[in-house]
């Protein structure tokens, strides 16, 4: 990665802070938008699969860096970021064109706390991941490693819990 000038670092930090507020707000606003006549009901298994692939790429990225394969690590992290963006686009598109699916299972005591934790951590993970990435881009690997201790497990939890939440609610999609 090419190192950034101090001015670019300041701008990147401002952008990360802005995105950390804007992304959740835009998602909430877009949930209120309903587009009729478009059927994206095929998206939930796709975005659940994207979450699964994200989890795999994150784990492979850790393995790569522990083996000293920095270039592979960087590529896998970039892929993880792209997968997370693809997930977000699919997730928002689905919810803009579909009604919410109520959970109808007997494991609501597991489903709802997991869903709430997944949502809250998906908001928190945005600045954690972006700042962690920025520190690496700056060449500040000591700070990058410190932030990774928090960012990695949260990002991995969000990816894996997204798959679990999907698996738990999938049987109820047809009942809407």
CA distance 118 to 156: 11
Distance CA(57)–CA(64), nearest Å, equals: 10
**Confidence (pLDDT) at 5:** 76
Domain around 98 = 40-175
17 in any annotated domain: no
pTM exceeding 0.75: yes
pLDDT, tens digit, 9 for 90 and up, residues 68-116: 999 999 999 999 999 999 999 999 999 999 888 889 888 899 999 999 9
In a domain, 13, yes or no: no
Query: What is the per-residue pLDDT across 80-92, written as a single tens digit (0 to 9) for each?
Result: 999 999 999 999 9
In the predicted structure, residue 157 carries a pLDDT above the cut 80: yes
Q: Mean pLDDT, the chain, as a whole number? A: 93
The separation between the first and the last C-alpha atoms of the chain, rounded to the nearest angstrom, is 47
Q: CA 162, 44, 27, 60 torsion: positive or negative?
A: positive
Decide if 29 is inside a domain. no
- Could you tell me if residue 122 is inside a domain? yes
Query: Does residue 149 form part of some domain?
Result: yes
Q: What is the CATH number of the domain that holds 153?
A: 1.20.120.80
Q: Give the tokens for residue 52.
A: 């699964």
Distance CA 9, CA 3 (A): 9
Give the pair of three-digit tokens for residue 145: 């490693």
Closest CA to 98 of 24, 174, 34: 34
CA distance 128 to 123: 10
* 33 located within any domain: no
Angle between helices 70-97 and 43-66 (to 10 degrees): 160
> Is residue 15 one of the residues assigned to a domain?
no
């Amino acid at each position: 990665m090419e190192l950034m000038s101090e001015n670019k670092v300041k701008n990147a930090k401002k952008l990360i802070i802005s995105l950390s507020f804007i992304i959740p707000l835009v998602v909430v606003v877009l949930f209120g938008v309903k587009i009729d006549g478009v059927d994206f009901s095929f998206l939930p298994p796709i975005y659940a699969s994207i979450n699964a692939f994200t989890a795999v790429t994150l784990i492979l990225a850790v393995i790569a860096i522990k083996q000293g394969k920095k270039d592979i690590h960087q590529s896998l992290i970039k892929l993880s970021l792209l997968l997370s963006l693809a997930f977000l686009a699919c997730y928002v598109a689905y919810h803009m064109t579909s009604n919410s699916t109520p959970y109808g299972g007997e494991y609501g005591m597991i489903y709802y706390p997991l869903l709430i934790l997944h949502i809250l951590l998906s908001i928190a993970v945005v600045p954690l991941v972006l700042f962690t990435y920025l520190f690496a881009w700056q060449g500040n690997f000591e700070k990058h490693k410190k932030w990774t201790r928090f960012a990695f497990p949260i990002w991995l939890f969000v990816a894996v819990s997204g798959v679990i939440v999907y698996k738990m609610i999938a049987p109820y999609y047809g009942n809407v």
